[in-house]
Amino acid sequence: MKNKLMLTGVIIIILLILAAVFAPKIAKYDPTYINIKEALLPPSEEHLMGTDMLGRDLFSRMLFGSRIALTIGIVAVGLAAVIGVALGSIAGYFGGKIDSVIMRFADIMLCFPAFFLILAVIAVVGPSIFNIMIIIGLTSWMGMARLIRAEILTLKTRDYVLCSRVLGASNFFIITKHLIPNGIGPVLVSFVFGVAGAILMEAGLSFLGLGVQPPDPSWGNILMEGKAVLGVGWWVILFPGLAILITVLAFNLLGEGLRDALNPRIK
């Protein structure tokens, strides 16, 4: 049953990636083309998901929205992973003062509620797709740093690492040959969950009007616009919400599956 769930997650993610990559081929309309005459049409053959209050084709906007969601999710968490793995491995492997400084820094960063910190930075640098990616990346590496540090702390006392050192291995050899291959699993899992989190974060920011700015279509800002037509255009609210839900669900399923696969003890 667990495997089936993970497989479902993987299939959804693949479909999403395909949709994002081929968005211009699939979409029948320009996602930013305004046609007030066709405003708020319910779903039909012409407009699979209907149109929004400016008469833009919702399906096309959703397709292009998936591009933004996935790009932001993957790039932001990728950045976080690079920072987290680098800092966490250094802290864990070398220990001592370096470790306390890095981890104390992470502790401090963790004291800020992520959303508040991100909003504060956005207030300063202004919202844009690029900024959002970087900001989410810079504010979400701490978990991964802690994970890889914890892994390395236990791995580096394993007998095979000690043996390797007795055999004359350099730090570089030990880190790349023993520690990272054996310790990367939890980071991978955390990466997948992180993408889900970042997609939710972007949607939330865009929903508040502080993320991706119109006319660029993001699931979050489509929802924001949908709020204005609450009660008249249910489809403008239904589809982006479902898209976020399903995407986040898919990444969470994949993450859960990966975790079980990497950690056979918990069944």
Examine residue 208 and tell whether it contacts another protein (CB under 8 A). Answer: yes
Q: Which of residues 148-167 bind another protein (CB under 8 A)?
A: 158-160, 162-167
Tell me which long-range contacts 223-228 makes (C-beta under 8 A, separation of at least 24): 225/52, 225/53, 226/52, 228/53
N-to-C CA span, the chain: 12
- Token readout for 180 is 């990272």
How many residues touch another protein (CB under 8 A)? 63
Q: Is 55 left (phi over 0), alpha (psi -120 to 50) or beta?
A: left
Q: What's 41's DSSP letter?
A: P
**Closest CB to another protein among residues 137, 226:** 226
Place of tokens 């979409």: 27
**Closest CB to another protein among residues 14, 125:** 125
Distance CA 91, CA 207 (A): 37
Q: Which of residues 40-99 bind another protein (CB under 8 A)?
A: none
- Residue 183 C-beta: closest distance to another protein, Å: 11
**Closest CB to another protein among residues 29, 184:** 184
**Closest CB to another protein among residues 29, 243:** 243
Examine residue 8 and tell whether it contacts another protein (CB under 8 A). Answer: no
**Closest CB to another protein among residues 89, 221:** 221
- Residue 27 C-beta: closest distance to another protein, Å: 23
**Closest CB to another protein among residues 26, 245:** 245
**H-assigned helices in the chain:** 2-21, 23-26, 58-94, 96-111, 114-125, 129-139, 142-155, 159-166, 171-173, 180-183, 185-207, 219-228, 234-262
Count other Cβ atoms within 10 Å, centred on residue 220.
27
What lies within 8 Å, CB to CB, of 116 at 6+ separation is none
Examine residue 28 and tell whether it contacts another protein (CB under 8 A). Answer: no
What mask of x and - would describe binding to another protein in positions 94 to 133, judged by CB under 8 A? ----------xx-xxxxxxxxxxx-xxxxxxx--------
Write out the residues near another protein by the rule CB under 8 A. Answer: 104-105, 107-117, 119-125, 158-160, 162-170, 173, 177-178, 181-182, 196, 200, 203-204, 207-210, 220, 223, 226-227, 230-231, 234, 237, 240-241, 244-246, 248-249, 252-253, 266
